[in-house]
Chains A and B, each alone.
Chain A
Amino acid sequence: MSAMLNEEKNGAPISYMAEVSRATPGNCRLEMCIQCGTCGGSCPSADDMDHTPRQLFAMIRADMRDAVLASNTPWHCVSCYYCTVRCPQEIHITDIMYTLKSMAVAAGQYKKSVDADFSESFVGYVDEYGRSFELGLATRMYLRHSPLSIVKTASMGLGMLTRDRLDFSPQRIKNLDQLQSILKRAGEIEEAIA
């Protein structure tokens, strides 16, 4: 952390690695990667990824900004934290994947993908009501991304409804103004560091 701040003070351009590291809350230790590959070997969805986490971290170190943001790797992360607990350097790999997703969205990459839209829609409902809203989220996703499969999916949704496992309307918290003002301020802070 201190080395990174010094770099900025001296006016040198901040490296892409430092940028990713700084945008990740907590002490993420990205700089400590020794390229051992334990992360990729532990990942349940590595097969479907363009790059293993190890490769992605090498690309970050090599300042390959566009290629990193275009990679599907972070979007295939299932947040299982296997890599994080197995990493000998104790790097917060899952958190870094979240940072890369945020950066890809901010850069306009993955704008129309299902994954990014799912996250953004989820955020939209939480910002609006304070709670998640599964029926709204699922309906929106299928209408937007796979309207043809809605019949098949509707039966599953119907199953959820008949089993009384799905709310028809969102639950709203009482002090929504308070939450929204907190999130608005946090959003401004987030944009300032991005």
Chain B
Amino acid sequence: MTKYLFYPGCSMQKNARSYLDSLMAIRPELDITFDEVDDWNCCGATEYWSVHQVKAHALVGRNLALAEQQANGSNTLVAGCSACYLNLAKTANYLEEDNLLREKIDDALAVGGLHFTPGSLDIRHLLDIVFNDVGLEKIRSKVVRPLTGLRVAPYYGCMIVRPDRENRYGNPEYPTALDKLLEALGATVIDFPQKTHCCSGHMTQISPEVAYELLHRLISGADRYNADLMVTLCPMCQLNLDAYQGDMNTFMDTDYHMPCLYFTQMMGLAFGHDPKELGIGKEFVDAGPALAKIGVELPEAEERPKPRPRRKKKEEGLPMPRMGDGNE
């Protein structure tokens, strides 16, 4: 049983509760325990950083100081949200390399009676823990309901693999950890070209037209490879792809119906857990049809939007050579 310090972050409390619930459900199989950082505060997302960088470092500094105090046998701090992971890692990194910043943050934290020692914590994303510490061998041995026949698009988004100053994922544009994990669960994993493209982040809020364009690139990309669903590891990506897919369809005049689930939910399904226990059913885009392929039946949602029949887009312009999907 390996113990980790855990920073859930604001999203996992509510809008991405299913990410947290599914993670908690599969802890026994992973043989890990989490010690939640007591009284943690927001990481600043991108918004706080946009307008107050020193305050944002202090905001994260408090979380790091609290985690350091609580480090008892484990100095690994885990975050499931990519933005939380990036922000925690960024402050920890910069406090090590920038003496002026360290003085400022020491000063601010001291007012609250706190102190953080740079280098005292190892900050890692949940996927990194699952892939590298738990390992594929153990994961494979726990699979009782292989995801055979399910075509999945592994979607990493940005902030887990970039800037990735510790080089944990090998390549900031072409990571493969999630691909391999999903293969270990038995799924057919497409070589998703947009796997590290941006989900549009906060643009759904402040400039929806820009967001729809970026979301369209991702969803149409996955659809072109006949993916049944997209698998994500970040609450922001899930929210944008799922909750804004309908608006995106209206804006782009498309009819996509691409469900988006967390990798912990896919692991839970493969480990034989009940979909409800994994928080499945809270999506805007119904995952029911996709999951039926692996024999998982979801209870009928009350107002589940019916997918509209797919319209065939008119071919315009010269015929272009088409790439195979690489999975034949």
Contacts and interface: CB of A to CB of B under 8 A. Distances in A.
Interface residues of B, number: 68
Contact of B108 (A119, A156, A185): A185
A83 B234 CA distance: 21
A25 B93 CA distance: 11
A106 B223 CA distance: 44
B172 interface: yes
Given A24-B53, A84-B163, A123-B47, A178 B114 contact: yes
A119 B201 contact: no
B44 interface: yes
B312 to A, nearest CB: 28
Interface in B17-55: 17, 39-42, 44-55
B59 A183 contact: yes
B137 to A, nearest CB: 31
A16 interface: no
Contacts, number: 197
B181 interface: no
Given A26-B94, A156-B243, A186 B55 contact: yes
Contacts of A159: 243, 284
Given A118-B47, A131-B10, A138-B205, A190 B52 contact: yes
A8 to B, nearest CB: 13
Given A26-B94, A48-B210, A84-B162, A189 B112 contact: no
A185 B111 contact: yes
B324 interface: no
Interface in A76-135: 76, 78-82, 84-85, 92, 94-95, 98-99, 101-102, 105, 114-116, 118-120, 122-123, 126, 130-132, 134
A123 B51 contact: yes
A193 B53 CA distance: 12
Contacts of A14: none
B293 interface: no
A48 B207 CA distance: 10
Contacts of B158: 78-82
Contacts of A48: 207, 210
6 contacts: A25-B54, A80-B198, A81-B163, A114-B206, A122-B47, A126-B44
